Structure 1
């Protein structure tokens, strides 16, 4: 399903880029814990449990931090970022929200015999593998997939919104995937995302909130893109907020679930708590409200 026209092209969230790692043997070979493996799919927020797991991965994997192409950064969450600033700590590549993904990229390259130099270039065999995986999951020919550059420097792939919904339908219902190896990799990856949801983002963020329910596979992308799939209902959804905002994701998804009469009201209630509809000013006075005015359409 889609909340907008199927022709709109949207970028692909991280789990697709993590699948080469789950198709390989690196998780078992290097003894990654479940939390560490989940970081391959994450937009980590720099909380202590994220950094501890990332530091542990650096010790286990055959890579060095300076090899990561993602730029040095501070954590996304305010508390860990401010704590590091107070201690006058410098930015690190490990603190970038895409660090786990890049660690997976580098390790897969070494495991597959791909060059590590230029792993961020579109013609690199790793990026071509990701492109092929996306094509298979989304039902979009490789030649029709748009290519841009992500904030962390690697290629970002764009496909029509309806095909993003198809992709997340398959992630939540891997029995629909014909390729047996890819099917197993998807099951393993999404199972870890559900088992360790706070690793994917952090507490009080929409990805974590949704993934806490085993029926849901979900992940946000850049510029207002959000995708999720419902296992029991066999439904996939994709949306893009036109101005690129992430603030109203909870409101939109809560409305989608209400419109399909989703059976788990607790999911909807928790989404509503993340982003209350009533807007108040600094003095606590109600000054406005958020209302969803779209009607869901089946594509």
Structure 2
């Protein structure tokens, strides 16, 4: 296995205090590597960066159309959301349309990451629910597919028809047999692949509108839903939402736990995958911002971009003591 490459540096005054390494791959629509840092063959768990792949069977099966799902539903199916009111209310309505409630979700409860809602719930002595989980939209999609297939409620079981459909989609778009899976934070299987495989999958999504087969047209709908509703894919303050809003062209961005990040660039026909080896979100956000600047999708001087490309390090007294910088090789 090749060695990881430099992704991001942390500077305090004139001193480089920390150094994040990892892997990054850019692929074109043919699946070929356009550029790479680190090891393209490194096997990783893409975590929530693979949610658009997990949402594919929801659309390809006909379940989404049978239930009349909108682009908002599809964006939520791909989301790692904040658990804000705009997310919770929509997922609750989705569950109600299925004749279900919070108890049907198998993702586990999670405290809302939205400050206003979290404080309101504390004041009202309300307990966090499963719908507040950042993956509740994906799980609502799983439940929709399970009902459509006439399958049982244990949809996170690796042998369940929903997960079998997810694995088939995953191996198709990565063009690789997955070596296995880990159980994600939301209890669903998360399938492993190489960095090249994941970048290839994102490029496949990026070029999906150019094809007319059912799987490709389904992927195109998911990409459109993501860049149409950036506030549902993540939420206020989050890198996915903020960077999608200021990109010069439509782009679908998706973060994943443990320092993963992906990008789908439909107008360029490119897919990007990033993994910080130490799992640091700050490194993955810095690296994906740098690569999108490199590809002229983002303006390095835009305040929303600088917030992730060169975020300041601020001490307890509000003094700027340093900054995070992308590794020089990422920008040019």
The TM-score normalised by the length of structure 1 is 0.89
Task: Say yes or no: does 1:15 pair with 2:56.
Answer: no
Shift in Å, 1:17: 1.0
Residue 87 (structure 1) aligned with residue 121 (structure 2): no
Distance 1:201 1:112 in 2: 29
Task: Provide the rounded CA distance (Å) in 2 between the counterparts of 1:245 and 1:4.
Answer: 16
Q: Give the aligned partner of residue 181 of structure 1.
A: 214
Return the structure number with greater strand share.
2
What are the equivalent positions in structure 2 for 1:123-134 lying under 5 Å apart? Answer: 123-134=159-170
Asked whether the 8 Å contact 1:217–1:230 carries over to 2, the reply is: yes
C-alpha spacing 1:176/1:32, structure 2 compared with 1 (3 Å): closer
Partner of 2:240: 207
RMSD: 2.3
Structure 2 contact 299–305 (Cα < 8 Å) conserved: no
Indicate if the aligned counterparts of 2:309 and 2:324 stay in contact, CA closer than 8 A: no
Q: What's the counterpart of residue 9 of structure 2?
A: none
Residue 256 (structure 2) aligns with:
221
Q: Residue 250 of structure 1 contacts residue 272 of structure 1 at CA under 8 Å; is this kept in 2?
A: no
**How many Å apart are 1:264 and its aligned residue?**
4.5
1:228/1:272 CA distance change after superposition, 3 Å: same
Q: Is the alpha carbon distance of 1:28 and 1:219 closer, same or farther for their aligned partners in structure 2, counting shifts above 3 Å?
A: same
Unaligned runs of 5+ in 2: 1-25, 27-35
Runs of 4 or more consecutive aligned structure 1 residues displaced over 4 Å after TM superposition: 266-269
**Contact 2:289/2:308 (CA < 8 Å) preserved in 1?**
no
Task: Give how far 1:201 is off.
Answer: 0.6
Question: How far 1:279 moved relative to its partner?
Answer: 1.6
Q: Specify every segment of 5 or more residues in structure 1 that has no aligned partner in the other structure, as ranges.
A: none
d(CA) in 2 for partners of 1:267 and 1:230?
A: 21
TM-score, normalised relative to structure 2: 0.80
Three-state SS of the structure 2 residue aligned to 1:291 is strand
Please say if residues 252 and 264 of structure 2, whose CA atoms lie closer than 8 Å, have aligned partners that are also in contact.
yes
Aligned to 2:226: 193
